[in-house]
Structure 1
Amino acid sequence: MSLAGYLSEYSLAEIFHFVQDGNQTGLLSLATPLGTRIEPVSGSTKSTSNTYSLSFQSGRIMSVINGWEHKPLLKTIEQRRWLTPAQIKTIETQLSQLPQPLGTYLKSRNLINTEQLTLLFNSQVIATTCKLFELHDGQFKFDPEVKLNHAEMTGISLTAQELALLGLRMLKNWDGLTAKLPAPEFALQRFSTELKGLRLDSQEFKVWQLALGEMSIAQIAEKLELEIARVQQISFRLSSIGLVQEVSVEPPQPPIDQMRDVPKPICVGGGNANTPISASFLSNLMGFLKKKG
């Protein structure tokens, strides 16, 4: 299923949830507006336009290509001197026909190990993608028809859900997401009683435990002794990855045994309080009151 729009309308976390929830395979393209660029190390911006290409397979991120400073995976391996020039030259002739990720291919031939591949994945995929959560302007497009580029893949992957959680945890400036944060008077309702292997930090876990649809976000913040804004951000993270949903707080209902003790109306002088009053009775009553006046 294809999807396109603007980051001002859909946050990157929400787009990742679409990819994860639909178990999508394809290419997510991000085009930042002219004059904006995120530096991978400092997080600052420079004047230029830029594009990013993120490849997913069955809801898992496989690779990221940075349009303005992309360095092919094999070139990075060469610069780290993990392979000899002769090995690099031989592999270059095979790149276009690789039936599997380059990293998997090299590991199967004992040319590179898991630790090296993990280092590459962390620096080229996780670090770069987490910085993208600073973007709140630009266009995006998810194309399920684009063929995956095995030459840029290490063979290691991470679910879109896990990476979105990491990216939002690292987000320092929430100004671009203020309008999307849940209101303090609303409550949270979790979808499941299990996390299914997903690791939350201590604050996230405590908020998730209290997401029973009974306490407002403001009340949760008070109970956990956290700032309301902090709980709002945590709530957005949990909501964006599909763990909770925002709901209205239900007004408290009195216990059933208390409701039984509520006195029933009675009629003075006897009679049934539930019997409808006739029109003739009301007419006579009104006439009597006028005479008394």
Structure 2
Amino acid sequence: MSLAGYLSEYSLAEIFHFVQEGNKTGLLSIEPDPGLMRSLSDAYHISFQAGRIMSVTNAHGAERHGLLKMMQQRRWLSSEQVVGLEFQLRSLRQPLGTQLKSLNLVNTEQLTLLFNSQVVATTCKLFEIHHGQFKFNPQASLIYTEMTGLSLTAQEVALLGLRMLKDWSGLSAKLPAPECALQRLSSNPDVRLDSQEFQVWNLALGEISIAKIAAQLGLEIGKVQQIGFRLSSIGLVQEVAIEPSQPAVNQLLEAPPVCVGGGNASIPVSASFLSNLMGFLKKKG
């Protein structure tokens, strides 16, 4: 099933969660609004395989053989090797990095460096985009020529991207409210959390408001809201309203007289009446 829309409605983290939860394979295209950010003026394409991010390219990445160029710039491959490999790329049916490693042209450490630069750093930058369009196409061909053979879950990359986000103004409307609580959705987090994230997750019992969590941990409310959004967007918690506590029986008995009978103040309900009523209800129970 294809999915398309606007980043002002669905954040990149929410889109990533959709892809991972559905264990989906396909191509996610991100197109920022024109002129929004000079450093992100192109469309970007993120390849997913079974909910894992395999590669990230800009609009011209695949045409220019960006991964090969990165290897050449680092002098891991000669110009002659790059030219020879370019003729073989059309029939490639596995990640380029996997093939080059099998030929002993690159090693695991080099591929890791490329993956961090091409995928992790670029994707984290994309989390700064809050205005633009996106489309997920499960029928699109995967871009094997831009794959190192390494991958990360969409959940892991989303968490990294949101941790590095400095300007949260574009997500302010999506942050959980200070008076609401956070409720865990699992007994254990299935991703590595930092110390503050784990502290908030540990208190996400659906009973303590975000404002009180912030006071208990000595953090700003806005910081806890951001952490709450991070945990929520990767499916670890959900925002819930705090149920109002029920007044105790003694509080009812000590309450001032109330009126019944359509608001007629001449018919007060006394404390003794409430006491007898509570006794009757207990016997009935």
The interval holding the TM-score normalised by the smaller chain is 0.7 to 0.9
Give the whole-Å Cα distance in 1 for the aligned partners of 2:116 and 2:15: 21
Shift of 1:266: 3.5
Aligned to 2:106: 112
Structure-to-structure mapping, 1:128-147, within 5 angstroms: 128-147=122-141
User: Among 118, 122, 137, which residue is 2:116 paired with?
Assistant: 122
What is the distance in 2 between the residues matched to 1:17 and 1:199?
16
Partners of 2:135 and 2:240 lie apart in 1 by 30
Give 1:9's aligned residue: 9
Could you say which residue in structure 2 is the equivalent of 1:164?
158
CA distance in 2, matches of 1:254, 1:125: 54
- Report the equivalent of 2:206: 213
CA-CA distance at 1:83 after TM superposition: 1.9
CA displacement at 1:72 relative to structure 2: 1.4
Q: How many residues align?
A: 258
Residue in structure 1 matched with residue 97 of structure 2 by the alignment: 103
Distance change in 2, residues 1:250/1:38 (3 Å): farther
Q: Aligned partners of 1:37 and 1:181: how far apart in 2?
A: 23
Gap change, CA 1:266 and 1:142, over 3 Å in 2: closer
Query: Aligned runs of 1:175-186 on 2, under 5 Å?
Result: 175-186=169-180
Instruction: Show CA shifts across 1:112-154 (max 9, x none).
Output: 0000000001111110110111101011000000010111100
Structure 1 position 59 matched with structure 2 position 51:
yes
Task: Kindly indicate whether the alpha-carbon contact (under 8 Å) linking 1:36 and 1:50 is maintained by their aligned counterparts in 2.
Answer: no
The corresponding residue for 1:285 is none
Q: Does the aligned pair in 2 maintain the 1:102–1:151 contact within 8 Å?
A: yes
Match of 2:149 in 1: 155
Listed one character per residue, the Cα deviations across residues 69-94 of structure 1 (whole Å, up to 9, x for unaligned) are 77611121122111233332332221
TM-score, normalised to structure 1's length? 0.82
RMSD value over aligned CA atoms? 2.4
Residues 165 and 38 (structure 1 numbering): CA distance in 2 closer, same or farther, change over 3 Å? Answer: farther
Q: Is the 1:104–1:155 contact (alpha carbons within 8 Å) kept by the matching residues of 2? A: yes
Instruction: Give the residue type in structure 1 aligned to 2:211.
Output: A
Map 1:236-251 → 2, pairs under 5 A: 236-251=229-244
Partner of 1:30: 30
Q: Specify which of 194, 199, 208 is matched with residue 201 of structure 1.
A: 194
Is the contact between residue 2 and residue 142 of structure 1 (CA under 8 Å) also seen in structure 2? yes
TM-superposed CA distance for 1:193, in Å, is: 1.1
**1:7–1:140 Cα contact (<8 Å) kept:** yes
For residues 84 and 127 of structure 1, what CA distance do their matches in structure 2 show? Answer: 25
**Structure 2: gaps spanning 5 or more residues:** 253-271
Three-state SS of the structure 2 residue aligned to 1:265 is helix
Is the 1:6–1:139 contact (alpha carbons within 8 Å) kept by the matching residues of 2? yes
- Once residues 276 and 66 of structure 2 are traced to their aligned partners in structure 1, the CA distance between those partners, rounded to angstroms, is 86
8 A Cα contact 2:31 2:44, kept in partner: yes
Measured after TM superposition, the shift of residue 38 of structure 1 is: 4.8
1:103 Cα offset (Å): 0.2
Q: Could you tell me the TM-score, scaled by structure 2's length?
A: 0.84
Q: Is the 8 A contact 2:65 2:145 kept in 1?
A: no
Conserved? CA contact 1:26–1:144, under 8 Å: yes
User: Identity percentage over the alignment?
Assistant: 66
CA contact (8 A) 1:5 1:139 kept: yes
d(CA) in 1 for partners of 2:248 and 2:141?
60
Residues 38 and 131, structure 1, Cα contact 8 Å, conserved in 2: no
AA aligned opposite 2:234: I
